[in-house]
Amino acid sequence: MDEKYGQVSVEYLIVFGFVTMAIIIILGVALNYSGNVKDNIKFTELNSYADKIISASESVFYAGAPSKATIDCYLPEGVKEVQVIENSLFITVETHTGTDKISYFSKVPISGNLSGGGGVKKIEVVANETSITLTEI
């Protein structure tokens, strides 16, 4: 009689082990998928941020000096650094897989200092004789 109870206990442990493994695998896949979705949203917001700045820069540049514009842009959380180098914006952002660096090209020469960090940023775009200066207000 004791053998029957021992066999039932072993079978119960085997079934419990398989169910536990299945739940762990499903949770792992769900966390990975969730991270990918959050990163896609972050990259969409970054594209919107950069497009607003570059579009305003090109408009103000072609209007000529002393034209200027003030824009409000949303920068998502996880942005470590925004660099303005020659005709490009370089954005360093933290994703669920590591750190990525993205560049956005402008047709006009731009310069200035923009801060990282998330939140709404107010940026002044000013046309000089030969370039655009970006200043965070």
Distance between CA atoms of residues 123 and 68, nearest Å: 10
Question: Is beta strand 79-85 parallel, antiparallel or unpaired with respect to 88-95?
Answer: antiparallel
pLDDT exceeds 70 at position 85: yes
d(CA 83, CA 4): 71
Which residues in 92-112 are b (16+ Cβ under 10 Å) and which e?
ebeeeeeeeeeebebebebeb
Q: Is the pLDDT of residue 1 over 80?
A: no
* CA 118 vs CA 79, 98, 109: distances in Å: 7, 17, 25
118: pLDDT confidence band, cut at 50, 70 and 90?
A: confident
Positions of E strands within 27-97: 68-75, 79-85, 88-95
CA–CA gap between residue 14 and residue 32 (Å, rounded): 27
pTM: 0.81
> Mean pLDDT for the chain?
92
Confidence category of residue 116, pLDDT binned at 50, 70, 90: confident
Domain segments of the chain as ranges: 2-136
pLDDT tens digits for range 30-68: 999 999 999 999 999 999 999 999 999 999 999 988 999
Q: Under a CB-based contact definition with an 8 Å cutoff, are residues 80 and 93 in contact? A: yes
Q: Report the share of the chain in percent with pLDDT over 90.
A: 82
pLDDT value of residue 7: 81
pLDDT at 6 over 80: no
**Structural tokens at position 39:** 């990163």
